[in-house]
Amino acid sequence: SITALSVRDLRTYFPIRRGVFNRVVGHVRAVDGVSFDLAQGETLGVVGESGCGKSTVGKTILRLLNPTSGQVIVHGNDVTSISEGALRPLRREMQMVFQDPYASLNPRMTMGQIVAEPLSTHHLASGNDLVDRVAELFLKVGLRPEQMNKFPHQFSGGQRQRVAIARALAVSPRLIICDEPVSALDISIQAQIINLMMDIQAEGGLSYLFISHDLAVVETISDRIAVMYLGKIVEIGRTREIYQNCKHPYTEALMSAVPIPDPVKKGRQRIILTGDVPSPSNPPPGCAFHTRCPIAKERCREETPALRQGVGGHAVACHFRDPP
């Protein structure tokens, strides 16, 4: 399979400044050595609690944020080291869909203008051709072309997210980074948008990086899942493997909280993690999960576990849990 995206040892640190001289007194290690590949036509779900760095990974890939170190390779081009000019054509390849379509759509533009804008900006269409392209995109996301002249406030949340998807699709990207794209929507509308995204992918071989805290949604759409904790991937593997055979104690705790109507799993126990997520400005030494891990031992305080590969790409970062 063709690799759409390779992320290599990506780090995104934010300086913490204090005092009248605004001196840098430390760093928030929002993303702290993340590596993964995404194949063309594949969906990788990225899950973890709020503050684990999953949104920062998405923004750094798009270079909305500059990485501290590491590489983001898109179709053979390292986007972390190229100039803004060289980045421009690559920006077409990667689009983003955010959680709140209302905040990301200009309220003074009609929905048609919103979808037309990237086509004009990238000189992909003009005149009647532009109107036809926008109409096509409206149909593709399940909206009627007559709705083009309406404004965002005249649309429902689900319709606005459809427009945000149409705008992302306008420039024929190969990758869409979706950051909590359905989290603000009602459950029934969530299902419609997820189905739409999967239909679009089935037609065109698009790749998705699907960032969400909602494990049920991620299970539906993802081929593989990466679990993040304090800026690092602690487990990654095929969706079924992660749901049925996860190895990392943190993944186990997350999974135990998902209500699954599967009778086989009815008897399993909910694992309640005690304590808050430590601050990424001062992560615990060794395994960063040791302050909350139910099976932590002395070694975990000193030695950082490597992400070890097992079969089928299933990898786990824990001293006491082997990948399958």
Give helix then strand counts, H and E, for the chain: 11, 12
Q: Which is nearer to Mg ion, 48 or 158 (CB)?
A: 48
Q: How far is the CB of 296 from ligand SF4 (least distance, A)?
A: 4
289 binds, among Mg ion, ligand SF4, none (CB under 5 to 8 A by kind): ligand SF4
Half-sphere exposure of 236 (CA within 13 A, CB side): 19
Q: Identify the residue among 289, 314, 315, 323 touching ligand SF4 (CB under 6 A).
A: 289
Report the residue count for the chain: 324
Q: How far is the CB of 309 from ligand SF4 (least distance, A)?
A: 16
Q: How many residues bind ligand SF4 (CB under 6 A)?
A: 12
Q: Please state, in angstroms and as integers, the Cα–Cα distance from residue 38 to each residue in 52, 173, 210, 248, following that order.
A: 20, 14, 11, 22
Q: Which is nearer to ligand SF4, 160 or 319 (CB)?
A: 319
318 binds, among ligand SF4, Mg ion, none (CB under 5 to 8 A by kind): ligand SF4
Q: Identify the residue among 185, 226, 300, 307 touching ligand SF4 (CB under 6 A).
A: 300
Q: How far is the CB of 72 from ligand SF4 (least distance, A)?
A: 27
Q: Which is nearer to ligand SF4, 110 or 256 (CB)?
A: 256
Find the helix or strand (DSSP H, E) in which 189 lies.
helix 187-204
Spatial separation of the C-alpha atoms in residues 57 and 264, rounded to whole Å: 35
The edge-to-edge listing of strands for the beta sheet with 23-39 is 23-39, 3-18, 69-74, 77-78
Spatial separation of the C-alpha atoms in residues 247 and 81, rounded to whole Å: 36
Binding site for Mg ion (CB under 5 A): 55
Our finding on whether 287 is near ligand SF4 (CB under 6 A) is yes
Q: Which is nearer to Mg ion, 36 or 98 (CB)?
A: 98
3-state class of 72 per DSSP? strand
Q: Which is nearer to ligand SF4, 146 or 322 (CB)?
A: 322
Q: Which is nearer to Mg ion, 55 or 80 (CB)?
A: 55
Tell me which residues in 212-251 interact with ligand SF4 (CB under 6 A): 249
Stretches 142-150, 156-164, 198-206, 286-294: which one binds ligand SF4 (CB under 6 A)?
286-294
305 binds, among Mg ion, ligand SF4, none (CB under 5 to 8 A by kind): ligand SF4
55 binds, among Mg ion, ligand SF4, none (CB under 5 to 8 A by kind): Mg ion
Q: Which is nearer to ligand SF4, 38 or 246 (CB)?
A: 246
3-state class of 116 per DSSP? helix
With helix as H, strand as E and coil as C, how does 202-225 read?
A: HHHCCEEEEECCCHHHHHHHCCEE
Spatial separation of the C-alpha atoms in residues 43 and 218, rounded to whole Å: 9
Stretches 91-99, 133-141, 266-274, 289-297: which one binds ligand SF4 (CB under 6 A)?
289-297
Spatial separation of the C-alpha atoms in residues 16 and 95, rounded to whole Å: 30
Our finding on whether 25 is near ligand SF4 (CB under 6 A) is no
Residue matched to tokens 């990301």 = 104
Tell me the DSSP string of 129-164. HHHHHHHHHHHHTT--GGGGG--GGGS-HHHHHHHH
Spatial separation of the C-alpha atoms in residues 6 and 4, rounded to whole Å: 7
Our finding on whether 290 is near ligand SF4 (CB under 6 A) is yes
Residue with the closest Cβ to Mg ion? 55
Which residues here bind ligand SF4, judged by CB under 6 A? 249, 287, 289-290, 293, 295-296, 300, 305, 318-320
